[in-house]
Chain A
């Protein structure tokens, strides 16, 4: 009886040991050269803290919400494209870094950034209200949070939103703007506030009539409206104006300075404006206008 027990326990230990070894083997075969280099650099980072050794850097991982056109989304060929991604690719090209596009779950963006699985959050990332939480570059896009309503809804101003159901993306700056004290009256006038994981689902509900308005960024709103044959309008009463920047882990100033310097080079030689025009965002960018 006792012998059996010992035998079973030994087998369990051996098998569990084998299984965990299998686990790490799977990870190793899944790694490619670029990731191995990032692993080495990451170990060094753990010693130095948030400040990164930029000269040792070989890859640049951009964390973004892949459902946020035109800043970052999936195109017809299955590639991740967008205004922010084009800028990031150009920066990487100039710095000799390998560009890695890493779509993330927007709700976990802070965990991804702190743990180092992404180098920055670069996709329509609003600075206002979050200034102390990240190390930011200078703003590069002027953005507004607007309300999108159905054309035939009869809503023409923020006052008309009283008693209506408004949709917003969870953890977004539209939500933060609505929860701000200055907007308390507006928020209280709503019939309800619905949070969504992504804007596509919110738009589906808007089309279906389950919500009456969606609060979101103007750039994305314009893209969605043009895609869906303009059955929607943007209220001229903007909710808030704000600016986009590139967010780095708080304290990671070396990397931020390098990326920002490269961006300014791109502004000086006109590449920045060129990329903005390609994406139809030349009216929203504010980086090129400081010259």
Chain B
């Protein structure tokens, strides 16, 4: 198989990887914010529940979570599943897993804002909601960009785990080509795809960081 054919086939499969990546970020970032509120809440049961959620999601392998989300409906509820549920299961499992990680990142960002900011906002007459969205949230975003970049880059590579439930993303395609061609070339090409995309992600996040560092 020529290099060009390999690159074009992997390129098509890379679209699947991108779909997982974009949808997961879209769902897990807001969900992470909500979970972090729950974690910091003064209501004890809510806080305990979210701590449990975060602990389970971070403490068990993503591959296991994928298998549970996909086969769960059948084995636990007796609900028949179809192949088309694969993609939904991938997105659900990835989103709830990454939301747990983002929740902790956002919590560290929010809690690191000095109490003086809250006091000044109170003095100026902001209520709680206004304080959060106008004062705390913008500062939090600046602070959490580096760890969020970390998680985003990890997500790009974790998409290869989707194969545990037979979702055909790029790395699986690369393994299939490698098996059919009896060579490792396809795996190297896949590695290049991941690296180039991660460079792009890191560059974009770097630009965002720069545009937000307006006090420097």
Contact = CB atoms under 8 A, between A and B. Distances in A.
Interface of A: 4-5, 7-8, 12, 15-16, 19, 22-24, 26-27, 30-31, 35, 38-39, 42-43, 45-46, 61, 66-69, 73-76, 78, 100, 102-105, 108, 111-112, 114-118, 198-200, 203-204, 224, 227-228
Contact of B85 (A8, A27, A66): A27
B128 A4 contact: yes
Contact of B180 (A15, A16, A31, A69): A69
B182 A42 contact: no
A42 B43 CA distance: 44
A22 B31 CA distance: 13
B75 A73 contact: no
B23 interface: yes
B139 to A, nearest CB: 20
Interface string B166-202: 1010001101111111101000000000000000000
B34 interface: yes
B179 A26 contact: no
Given A24-B88, A203-B182, A228-B182, A105 B164 contact: yes
A168 B27 CA distance: 40
21 contacts: A4-B129, A15-B30, A15-B34, A19-B31, A26-B88, A27-B87, A35-B83, A35-B84, A38-B82, A42-B81, A45-B80, A61-B83, A66-B172, A68-B179, A102-B83, A105-B164, A108-B166, A114-B74, A115-B71, A115-B80, A116-B81
Contacts of B1: 76
Contact of A39 (B74, B82, B166, B181): B82
A215 B12 CA distance: 34
B175 A200 contact: yes
Contacts of A43: 80
A224 B23 CA distance: 39
A66 B34 contact: no
B78 interface: yes
Nearest to B173: A74
B210 to A, nearest CB: 31
B179 A67 contact: yes
A140 B150 CA distance: 52
Given A73-B179, A73-B180, A108-B166, A115 B31 contact: no
A89 B74 CA distance: 28
Contacts of A75: 180
A204 B184 contact: yes
A45 B176 CA distance: 32
B80 A111 contact: no
A61 B177 CA distance: 22
A200 B179 contact: yes
Contacts of B74: 114-116
A115 B87 contact: no
B182 A200 contact: yes
Nearest to A118: B83
Contacts of B181: 227
B103 interface: no
A8 B82 CA distance: 36
A74 B67 CA distance: 25
A117 B83 contact: yes
Given A5-B43, A111-B71, A42 B180 contact: no
A104 B82 contact: no
Among A12, A27, A75, A104, max chain B CB count under 10 A is at A27
B87 A104 contact: no
